[in-house]
Amino acid sequence: MKFILYLLIITSSVFALPKSHHKQETCGYSSCPEVDSNVLNVHIVPHSHDDVGWLKTVDQYYYGNRQNIQHAGVQYILDSVIQALLKDPERRFIYVETAFFWKWWQEQTEDMREQVKHLVDTGRLEIIGGAWSMNDEAASHYHSTIDQFTWGFRKLEETLGKCARPKIGWQIDPFGHSREMASLFTQFGFDGLFFARLDWRDKNKRLAEKTAEMLWQGSQSLGSSSQLFTSILYNHYMTPPGFCFDVMCPDDPIIDNKNSPEYNAEARANVFLNYVKQQARNYRSNNVIITMGGDFHYQDAMSYFINMDRLIKAVRNLNTNTRIFYSTPSCYLKAVHAENLKWSVKTDDFFPYASDPHSYWSGYFTSRPTSKRFERLGNNFLQVAKQLAVLTGESSSVPALDPLREAMGVMQHHDAITGTEKQHVADDYARIMSEAINTADEFAGKAVKQLYGPDGNFQSCLLLNISQCELTENDDTFIVNVYNPLSRPVSKYVRLPVTKRGHNVINEEGNRQDIQYVPVFDMLANVPGRKSSAKEELVFYADSIPPLGYRSFAVSVVENFIEKKYEEIKEKARVSFQPSGHIKHIRVGDKQFNIQQDFLYYSGASGNNMVFENRSSGAYIFRPKTQQATPVSESVQTTTHAGSLVTEYHMKFNDWVGQVIRVYEKYNHIEVQWIVGPIPVEDKIGKEIISRYSTNINSTDVFYTDSNGREMLKRIRDYRETFPLTHEEPVAQNYYPVTSKILIKDENTGERFAVLNDRAQGGTSLQSGEVELMLHRRLLHDDAFGVGEALNERAYGTGLVATGTIYLHYGSSEGSSSVAEEKYLAQSILLSPWIFIQPMVQANSNSLTDYNFKFSGLKKPLPNNVQILTLEPWGDNTVLLRLEHIFEKDEDATLSSPVSVNIASMFSTFNVLEMNEMALGANQLASAVSRLQWNAQNGDESNIIKKETIERNNMEVTLLPMEIKTFILKVKHVQ
């Protein structure tokens, strides 16, 4: 007999969706106040925007200390708001940041918790957004974004129940908005999105044409199923001018005592109503949303609510053709939907954001590059640790991983991963991440030990990027465990710093691996803060690492080791150079292409920020002093180190810029490790460092960048799809976020050149055939957008040195190999094989046979177009699984096809007993998601993702291009 999945879920006790705390629930749309279709409905929305770190650290904001920096204490906001809501059932409030709410919730009595649940269940306190933090949309990767929403949703579900499930995106402060974010919101089951920041010209045009509300299609592959109603707020997210009633605001209160000489209620109501009518003239609906709040408002909520109560009463007393009431974004959305209007469809994104003619918020795409890399490393390791937890039979959510889950959620905040926070806050973010990774590493090391064998402890080496690892430098014998978090076999060149020669590297079959020693680049060896005496790296090739599995290698220093001699042959050189030392062309395999590369810098503009023309380049803003970049040097010192596994070119441009080009024997791409810093500022000029590649590809004025690591977006130089672009800042206006890849191609010949990166950066193509990425920034002036500090990072007594890796791939669009290779390369950068080290237990030579040197968590690799996005312990004998189709529609002739996988026969360490399909955020059943349907004036009506039934017996799942499916599995681990 066939059983439909969603019927099974209802009766299953496995899936741990908490029951409602109250039998009578009037939350959601059913709790909304009544509107009148014949009048103007004014929705008053009280809210507080609480940054999870910015000018103060997370804890400083929560507890309210360091008030000399900013008067803000989130615990007081929540305390005060709850009391104000309890006094009057008509009042409403929305809250967004689960990180703060969870911290506050843990300190509350059971009686207070019950009162909060009642407010939520009756719709008076509504959770909006619901993620751990309000994430950035430029530098954030979709993998981490999904994770931090899932963690926020889970805490809300555990504490408040289904009435706390968000239905609305509230991205009111991020500095531009990505198309992929809109797509994710639809997959969470959201009905709409509200935001504030977009290009000033775009906003003016939309308000004039009444198109500030639209349907935003988040995915070309997913079609109309990814359309999201999107509303651009009229007055940023602030209160109307003159009506801020926070204790920190100077505005007069509403005085409704007619016997008082200060009586002003009627006059203030008329001013307010005139403002409302002015706003309404810019929108099509007869509903108007009025935001009443701001940054860290409502520390004394009664002050706010008393005055809003009086304002609402005064407006009602005017007896005008309006209806005014407390509301929420959800209720506003419901009312607009009921009008049954048709909406235009937007298919691009809202980058880059410009707040005035000279302020393009494209500097933060690169700001604080080491923090951006640390965040990406954290995601890599979090996925490894969660997978290991499942594969080793953990039956709970693993508390040891919670600090890293939460740290990664904090890091997605729009003042964290962006690099737009004060320095002491950035330091605190690094502390939070370091402590969380160390806690997770202890757990992960034990999990690897459980799979590998009974002895020793495995540890991570987190400073391999600067060639530092105490375990490999100080021990003559050790085990290298290379874990692959991808769903297909991958191969990796392992590089380990060593202080000796003569290493034997033995694989699981007892065979000796070929090795090579390469010198550590001089500039890297001398990087400030490096504590290593290693002058060389041991390199070997770990091929075919099993999916969700590992290969282990026994490494030992042996006496009388005879190292193979490799003869350098000029004809085998892969890189040719100009007389100046700059690159001339590169050959990979049988492919050779002409390319020039150089490091340059833009001088940062400096000014007093009093008028637009005097805007400084800063943490947020990229504004070069001139539109031409300056080369960092005229010539390059290059040293070649050739070998059988890799040929390296160590290139020193000057004392603070260098790179290592690596051409591996078995890779179809070039690896470039760059090192920049300390950026000199003795000349009192801030500098923004770029790497620019020039090819002979005829890309005209078109290039492509990724959207949060998923679908690619077409960019046209000096052009915007929805508004005419002026050209006050020709370079900055063409910079876009590059989360994982920037691409140029020749539409006629099919030639394509892709540059992939290991962290979020800003990038562009200013000329046909060119690609440039911004690597590092050091500036001496604040840009006056709030942070109050220049972006002048220092470490170890000098300017910050940053190092990272970019990957060059050259190919052809003909056939599918190039597109697929780029896709697989991006995956292997994001979820790179993770290296664990264990000092080898001293034993006899036969003891290695007692250990499990090779392991796979999958019975067989998944199809090449399918990836396990998430595998983590969820509860008692339950597992959260996400599968994604990694190709776009029409991206590849073969791999863009629908693909089916069988979950029942997927894993090697556990059996799947039951499965429930969930919404993307794993907080509700997929079958229960019912989104509001909107009428489109235009747009793609195809490729609607339909709910499908899944047979219980075979658990076969079909994925369409770019589709993500989420499941909670009931499992039984194999002994």
Instruction: Calculate helix-pair angle for 179-188, 142-160, nearest 10 degrees.
Output: 30
- Helix, coil or strand: residue 639: strand
Query: Token digits for 973?
Result: 């681990």
Burial class (CB in 10 A: 0-12, 13-18, 19+), 714: exposed
Angle, CA of 354, 355 and 360, to the nearest 5° = 35
- In three state form, how does the secondary structure of 939-953 look? CCCCCCCCCCCCECC
* Angle (deg, nearest 10), helices 402-411 and 142-160: 120
DSSP state of 907: B
Contacts of 611 (CB under 8 A, 6+ apart): none
110-121 helix and 142-160 helix, angle to the nearest 10 degrees? 110
Cis peptide before 33 (omega within 30 of 0): no
Q: Cβ(446)–Cβ(456) under 8 Å?
A: no
Distance, CA of 918 to CA of 157 (rounded, Å): 14
Q: Which residues are catalytic?
A: 173
Quick one: which of 969, 748, 740 has its CA closest to 874? 969
Which tokens is 583 given?
Answer: 């690159």
Round to whole Å and give the CA distance between 931 and 914: 26
Angle formed by the axes of helices 142-160 and 98-105, nearest 10°: 30
Q: Is 824 exposed, middle or buried (0-12, 13-18, 19+ CB in 10 A)?
A: middle
H helical segments located in 106-192: 110-121, 142-160, 179-188
Structure tokens at 876: 């008692």
Picking from 744, 743, 728, the residue whose alpha carbon sits closest to that of residue 612 is 728
Nearest to 194, CA basis, from 336, 406, 29: 336
Q: C-alpha distances in angstroms, 659 versus 69, 119, 574, 652, 709?
A: 40, 58, 16, 7, 25
Omega before 352 within 30 of 0, i.e. cis: yes
Where on the phi/psi map is residue 443: left (φ > 0), alpha (ψ -120 to 50), or beta?
Answer: alpha
8 Å CB contact between 904 and 955: yes
Q: Do 591 and 582 contact (CB within 8 A), yes or no?
A: no
CA 465 to chain centre: 21
Residue 961 gets which letter from DSSP?
T
Encode 243-270: b = buried (16+ Cβ within 10 Å), e = exposed: bbbbeeeeeeebbbeeeeeeebbeebbe
Task: Determine contact, residues 902/956, Cβ cutoff 8 Å.
Answer: yes
134 and 414 Cβ atoms separated by less than 8 Å:
yes
Name the strand (E) or helix (H) holding 103: helix 98-105
Phi, psi dihedral angles at 320 (to 5 degrees): -90, 180
Partners of 972 in beta bridges = 911
Spatial distance between the Cα atoms of 781 and 162, rounded to a whole number of angstroms: 48
Please state, in angstroms and rounded to a whole number, the distance separating the CA atoms of residues 526 and 856. Answer: 39
Amino acid at residue number 965: K
C-alpha to C-alpha distance for 372 and 553, rounded to whole angstroms = 31
CA distances from 414 to 145, 172, 437, 638, 782 (A): 12, 10, 21, 40, 18
